[in-house]
């Protein structure tokens, strides 16, 4: 089985998973963290090089304040609690997105995690938190303007200023939860990605589901605008 160099996942359905079971939405988010841990380990074991997951979007600030605060604390605690496991499994972690809205204690946890795993040479796990695809493109444009090399800009130069500038373009996007849209996720990086949608809510997504998505990817004919 051919393993894509870079897989991205929109982890959708945590809240609905909880509601279907008569639980509060926060329980779904907690369960979703467990799933992310399992999928990260599975992805590493099958030889995946880069995994990017959508954890919190720039639009998610519009959710009820109680839920937003819970997600911020959950993210901070997850970083702290899973730190040793990530190092043990040789995972390199990068947090992508805008950081200007984060509390100082969360920023410290993020910086410590990134610094402590930067030399790991196993799976690269990119966590998109306070991330928006349009915001990323705007931020890249601002970087280019500061460099005063606008006249030299091309796609290659532009890509160097994106959050994932040192990562291969996404080959496979998986979205769980039954929705079929990109939701402002990796708009540049998904230009030629294969899209895979499944009805399974993220908390129930398993290693077998990941393998099924990759097997489906292997059946695709990728032409990149040319003829086979």
Catalytic positions are: 12, 60
The HSE-up count of residue 161 (CA atoms within 13 Å, CB side) is: 21
| Burial status of residue 217 (CB atoms within 10 A of its CB: 0-12, 13-18, 19 or more) | buried
Give the whole-angstrom CA distance, residue 137 versus residue 189: 10
């Amino acid at each position: 089985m051919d393993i894509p160099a870079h897989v991205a996942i929109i982890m959708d359905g945590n809240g609905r998973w909880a509601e279907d079971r008569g639980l509060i939405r926060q329980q779904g988010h907690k369960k979703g963290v467990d799933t992310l841990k399992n999928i990260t380990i599975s992805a590493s074991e099958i030889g995946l090089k880069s995994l990017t997951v959508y954890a919190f979007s720039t639009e998610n600030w519009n959710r009820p304040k109680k839920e937003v605060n819970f997600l911020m604390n959950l993210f901070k605690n997850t970083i702290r609690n899973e730190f040793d496991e990530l190092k043990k499994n040789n995972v390199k972690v990068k947090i992508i997105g805008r950081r200007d809205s984060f509390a100082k204690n969360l920023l410290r946890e993020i910086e410590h995690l990134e610094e402590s795993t930067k030399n790991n040479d196993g799976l690269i796990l990119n966590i998109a938190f306070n991330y928006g695809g349009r915001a990323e493109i705007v931020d890249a444009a601002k970087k280019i303007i500061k460099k005063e090399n606008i006249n030299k800009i091309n796609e290659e130069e532009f890509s160097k200023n994106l959050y994932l500038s040192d990562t291969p373009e996404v080959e496979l996007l998986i979205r769980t939860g039954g929705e079929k849209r990109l939701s402002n996720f990796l708009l540049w990086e998904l230009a030629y990605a294969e899209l895979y949608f499944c009805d399974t809510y993220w908390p129930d997504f398993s290693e077998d589901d990941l393998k099924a998505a990759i097997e489906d990817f292997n059946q695709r004919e990728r032409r990149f605008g040319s003829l086979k």
